Every structure is written in structure tokens, then in C-alpha cells.
């Protein structure tokens, strides 16, 4: 399937979700002629229209990426997702150290560079934001240390 077709299919799917979950949006007491449902429905129609045009038109203008790049993209996304999940549980400094090290490796750093930059970045930014700028960050498992 061409890239524009899959985009169009996604758009139709999104319009479908908007319509299905939006259909029941009715106010218990209506004070005005237009309720909470009309605008989401208009949006769904707009998105569905775009989806249909893309499906019919087809075409492909996504430049190909190498397999190695694709793995990198997936690895980076997963790393960031894990970072988001462990951010509060593990605490800011350890989770940032891990994230930063892995991301540095993905972008071509050596193990030593990744470890050092991860350590400097995690501790340094914690001191800057939490201590310096009063942005409260989760202390997590290292709670007693700082």
C-alpha cells in the first residue's frame, strides 16, 4: 500500500473513532441550539473527506529509510517510552542516567562517552532544575542521597 493510501486509511479510522465515540455526546439539558456533538461530528466529516481523497489519489512521497535507521527510530521511541514510565518510579536521576546513556549510544557515542555524559547530565540537570529553579522532580530510589 502506498504511503498516501495508508495515511488516508488512518484518517478514515480516526474519523470513525471520532464518530462512534462522539455520537452519544448529548447534553442532558440543552440551553442552545448546537450541543456538544455537532463540532466533533463536523471535524470527523472533515477528516473523513481528507481520508477519502488520499485513498483515491494514492501516491507515495515518503523517502525510504534504511533498515538500520528504522531500528534506531524504534529503539529511540521505546527508550523514551520506558523513560516516561520509570521517571516517577525510579526517580529522576537514575532514570535520566539510563535514558541519556542509551540515547547517546543510539546516536553513536562510545560506552565511556555515554556513561560520562549520562552521569553529568542527570546529576547536573537535577541540581539545576530541582535545586536551582524550584521545579520539583521525583527523588525516587535515591531519595535519601540528595
Partner 1 sequence: METLALLMTGFAVASSPMNLALAALGAVVGTMVGVLPGLGPVNAVAMLVPVVFALGLPPESSMILMAAIYIGSEYGGRISAILINVPGEASAVMTALEGYPLSRQGLAGVALSLSAWTSFLGSVLATVGIVLAAPVLSRWALAFGPVEYVALMIFAFACLTGLLSDQPIKALLATGIGLALSTIGIDANSGVMRYTFDMPNLIDGLAFSTLVIGLFAISELLILLQSHRDGVSVKIERMGRNLFNFKEMRFTLPSALRGAGIGFFIGLLPGAGGTVASALAYSTERKITERRDPEGSRFGKGDLRGLATVEAANNSASNSNFIPMLTLGIPSSGTTAIMLGVLTLYNLTPGPMLFTSQPELIWGLIASLFIGNVMLLAMNIPLVGLFARMLSVPAWVLVPFIVVVSAVGVYSGKSASFDLILMVVVGAAAYWLRRMHVPMAPLILGFVLGGILETNLRRALSLSAGEVQILWSSPIAIALWGAAAAILLLPRLLRRALPAEARLSED
Binding to partner 1 in span 62-121, by CB under 8 A? 62, 65-66, 68-69, 72-73, 76-77, 80-81, 83-85, 87-88, 96, 99-100, 103-109, 113-114, 117-118, 121
The yes or no reply on residue 54 touching partner 1 (CB under 8 A) is yes
User: Can you read off the three cell numbers belonging to residue 131?
Assistant: 535545586
Residue among 83 and 144 whose Cβ is closer to partner 1? 83
Report the site for partner 1 in 12-41 (rule: CB under 8 A).
14, 18, 21-22, 25-36, 38-40
> Please, are residues 119 and 97 in contact by the beta-carbon 8 Å criterion?
yes
Rounded CA gap, 88 and 136, in Å?
A: 11
Which residue, among 39, 55, 44, 48, has the nearest Cα to 4 in the 3D structure?
55
Residue among 31 and 145 whose Cβ is closer to partner 1? 31
Rounded CA gap, 96 and 123, in Å?
A: 9
Amino acid at each position: 500500500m502506498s504511503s498516501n493510501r495508508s495515511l488516508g486509511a488512518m484518517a478514515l479510522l480516526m474519523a470513525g473513532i471520532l464518530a462512534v465515540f462522539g455520537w452519544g455526546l448529548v447534553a442532558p439539558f440543552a440551553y442552545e441550539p448546537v450541543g456538544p456533538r455537532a463540532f466533533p461530528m463536523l471535524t470527523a466529516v472533515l477528516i473523513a473527506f481528507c481520508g477519502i481523497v488520499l485513498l483515491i489519489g494514492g501516491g507515495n512521497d515518503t523517502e525510504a529509510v534504511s533498515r538500520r535507521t528504522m531500528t534506531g527510530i524504534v529503539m529511540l521511541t521505546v527508550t523514551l517510552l520506558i523513560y516516561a514510565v520509570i521517571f516517577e518510579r525510579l526517580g529522576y536521576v537514575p532514570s535520566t542516567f539510563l535514558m541519556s546513556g542509551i540515547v547517546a549510544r543510539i546516536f553513536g557515542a562510545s560506552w565511556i562517552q555515554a556513561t560520562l555524559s549520562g552521569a553529568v547530565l542527570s546529576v547536573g540537570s537535577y541540581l539545576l532544575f530541582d535545586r536551582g529553579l524550584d521545579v520539583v522532580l521525583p527523588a525516587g530510589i535515591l531519595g535519601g542521597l540528595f
